[in-house]
Structure 1
């Protein structure tokens, strides 16, 4: 089933949500307004019709945000979401549905259908997840980190698997100071104790992910993420309530020469089974963000393609 939805903003930047009415699947959940694409319609024609029928408005220019393939019991959908820059009229619940204008930072507090969770992430979180190379020269590493932050990196994984624990703690504190100054999230790879001690986010290796029975406890507001390669790992990440994951390799990479890439089709198929925000990993560059979004991804993750030269 092909479904379209809109991100509509008011003059204060708040985003419109509509509540699913009684008698429908997932009744009571909040969603981005829209509906099914009928035969013979383009996605934008369907969006304009649905919003006219449901809200009494006509839309102007619209830009693709993300396309989310999602499996539900008994059906599969693809939700194409557009950011609508302008609309005519005043939004009203013409089908007796409740409406709410929500600040972007409050969207995650609304109960939503699974397909809408990646949309919230696409609106509120970084579309690139920078994974640092192994640090060998601390001053040089921090200089490159400063360049990455200056260029707009806002979600960063500090990956230093070969570094001694004491040295890693020092480097993590230095990186934390820099990231906080720029409003960037910093996650520590594979070190839950140190992440908790320093008030950092945590990125779990896939083996760590599968060994857990509960989400690691971190400072309030700090994210927990994980590396995933298949449906079982994705399902485990969702069971634990992780904030996001990376999935790959989507393309062949120099760092894993013997690993067959999954490609975008399999990436999208795996995306269907969970509602987590997912970054595509493996041979990714900033230009691939749009491709990832077309296949349900939050964006791209990587080292070589994102770390400053």
Structure 2
């Protein structure tokens, strides 16, 4: 059990990419905590030092690069048995010079898709997820027939959308699964998430879901957990549901409603500060949802979110 007297060690972490989109990782050296594990470069934030200053200093010392621009990616609170850390992760969007090992550590450029082949400290797992996720996530709206659904998804893909959640509450479970599997086979290069918000969910239905699974807040509160091995997202409206999602093994979550939505115009949004507070305690990436568009990405990121998810602003623009 963690001694509550342990103070939080604040760590600035950088996600550095090259022109190929590969991500730089470094191997922890002998004598360090979790020696031999791979990690994202960075180091401790000194007392009175701001995170961006600490990040620039650490990457200069470790890699010999000068950071000129970085933006927040994710903040991760994590308790090890022997210490408590807060990882303040930024995506380095501009830097000069080529990274070299400045402290004798092994460094390596790795493609996003190969990151899970490396062993990282447990606290780094959400960083790997965040690196692999986009800033924009589409949730499907209404559609008339399979052809219209397929065409809309194809149009979104051509516009750079790589992650879509198939939400179709009007379909019965068996029909939904049939549509989902057919669509999965006809659109390549898209991570298509199956929504588990059935009228009468049960364990067998959840376990039959494919690799990409979305758990509604109702399914979370009912205590259902998908089988291991899939990529799991979950819908959350408060910290209680966040804890349920993390217990269910969710890799990332949606937090809503940030703003009023067209489907529920009389329901007030919780606002940006509520999003900030939610992200501060989340141990997984968070998408802001509810009345948002791509114009809100920057503000969502400043609050600690991965980006935005939307129905109307994305699905509605495809005719």
| TM-score of the two chains, using structure 1 as the length reference | 0.79
Pair 257,240 (structure 1): closer, same or farther in 2 beyond 3 Å: same
1:110 is the counterpart of 2:116: no
CA contact (8 A) 2:235 2:253 kept: yes
SS at match of 2:24: strand
Q: CA deviation at 1:196?
A: 6.0
Query: Which residue matches 2:262?
Result: 254
User: Does the CA-based 8 Å contact 1:59-1:84 persist in structure 2?
Assistant: no
1:82 corresponds in structure 2 to 91
* Structure 2: gaps of 5 or more residues: 1-8
Where do residues 196-275 of structure 1 align in structure 2 (5 Å cutoff)? 199-212=210-223, 215-217=225-227, 222-275=230-283
Please state how far the C-alpha of 1:265 moved relative to its aligned partner: 2.0
Q: Which residue is equivalent to 2:69?
A: 62
Alpha-carbon separation, structure 2, partners of 1:258 and 1:28: 54
The aligned runs of 1:1-309 (5 Å cut-off) are 3-9=11-17, 14-19=22-27, 30-37=38-45, 44-55=52-63, 57-59=64-66, 61-64=68-71, 66-68=73-75, 70=77, 77=86, 79-83=88-92, 85-88=94-97, 91-94=100-103, 97=105, 99-108=107-116, 109-112=118-121, 114=123, 116-180=124-188, 183-190=189-196, 199-212=210-223, 215-217=225-227, 222-309=230-317
Q: Cα distance 1:288–1:239, how it changes in 2: closer, same or farther (>3 A)?
A: same
Q: What SS does the corresponding residue of 1:91 show, helix, strand or coil? A: coil
Following TM superposition, by how much is the alpha carbon of 1:304 offset from its aligned partner in structure 2, in angstroms? 0.4
CA RMSD across the alignment: 3.4
Q: 1:69 to 1:268 in 2, by over 3 A?
A: farther
Change (3 A) 1:77 1:133: same
| Distance of 1:121 and 1:66 partners within structure 2 | 11
Residue 29 of structure 1 contacts residue 113 of structure 1 at CA under 8 Å; is this kept in 2? Answer: no
| Cα distance change, pair 171–195 in 1 and its aligned pair in 2 (3 A) | farther
Shift, 1:282, TM fit = 0.7
Q: Given that residues 67 and 294 in structure 1 are in contact (C-alpha distance below 8 angstroms), is that contact kept between their aligned partners in structure 2? A: no
Contact 2:214/2:233, CA 8 A, preserved across alignment: yes
SS at match of 1:66: strand
Secondary structure in structure 1 of the residue aligned to 2:304: coil
In structure 2, relative to structure 1, the CA distance for the partners of 1:136 and 1:225 (3 Å cut) is: same
| Residues 121 and 240 (structure 1), Cα distance of their counterparts in 2 relative to 1, 3 Å cut | same
- SS of alignment partner, residue 272 of structure 1: helix
Residue 292 of structure 2 contacts residue 309 of structure 2 at CA under 8 Å; is this kept in 1?
A: yes
TM-score (structure 2 length as normaliser): 0.77
Secondary structure of 1:306's aligned partner: helix
- SS, match of residue 233 in structure 1: helix
The 1-side partners of 2:295 and 2:282 are apart by 25
Q: Work out the number of aligned pairs and report it.
A: 301
